[in-house]
Amino acid sequence: MAYVEFEQRGRVAVISINRPERRNALGREVREGLVKAFLRVEADPDIWVAVLRGEGGRAFCAGADLKEIHEADQRGERFVPPMSGPERHVFEVVRETYKPVIACINGAAVAGGLELALACDIRIASDDAVLGMPEAKRGMGANFASVVLPRIVPLGVAFEMLYTGDYLDAQEAWRVGLVNRVVPKAEVEQYTLDYAERLSRNAPLTLRRYKHMILKTLDMPVAAGLRLDAGPNPYLSRDRMEGIAAFVEHREPRWEGR
């Protein structure tokens, strides 16, 4: 997968955008590589958690490759708006990977790069990270962020970020709930990997159940959501019996994922 690297560390998949010379911009090959990587995470029963990161230390992801888009415009090629092409949209694929996905924001996450982080479940940022949606300054639309950002931060903050295109520093992003943790630059990579490994020690079916239920019931009435029964059912699993037995016997559980 050009520009996208995939490494498995125990139960954790580490997916890296490796295009630092373009600040890990989402060119066509990067988008295709990310889709393949996350479909692999979803399909592999031995992967329980995924981490998404950017190489180079300057940027998690700088968003769409505007140079690539400009060159296509100059050739007279038709621009394909989000969600209207024949392939699955990368942000949608990341969001619908029904396993915990953690963004390691080790630099700038702007425009489509922030949308990529928004598609993840948990965002851990380095203390020098900047985050923002400058699409209003580029004539773009921030299709994914306009839907998802107001579900993560207060509505007024979402409007301000989208309307102004201004960036937030890491501490302000934490204050408004855009990121879960802010970690010193030198520690953010290891912190994120340790965090992912800690999640991978929990019952995998339970984590998958949480993600199904949270995402599929966000807009449902509570009574309907409680009866949805989405995702794997941990209550009827062997892991449920193992988890209780391990607690009673004062030992670590041995999860099977079934």
Catalytic center residues:
115, 135
The answer to whether the beta carbons of residues 223 and 212 sit under 8 Å apart is no
Rounded distance, CA 79 to CA 72, Å?
A: 8
Termini Cα distance of the chain: 31
DSSP 8-state assignment for residue 88: P
Q: How many CB atoms lie within 10 A of CB 258?
A: 10
Question: What are the strands, taking DSSP E only, across 37-79?
Answer: 49-54, 59-61
Q: Can you say whether residue 101 is alpha, beta or left, with left for phi > 0 and alpha for psi between -120 and 50 degrees? A: beta
| Nearest in space to 119 (alpha carbons), one of 22, 211, 3 | 211
- What SS3 state is found at 17? strand
Q: Cα Rg for the chain, rounded, in angstroms?
A: 19
Q: What distance in Å separates the CA atoms of residue 29 and residue 12, rounded to the nearest whole number?
A: 24
CA 100 to CA 118: how far, in whole Å?
A: 13
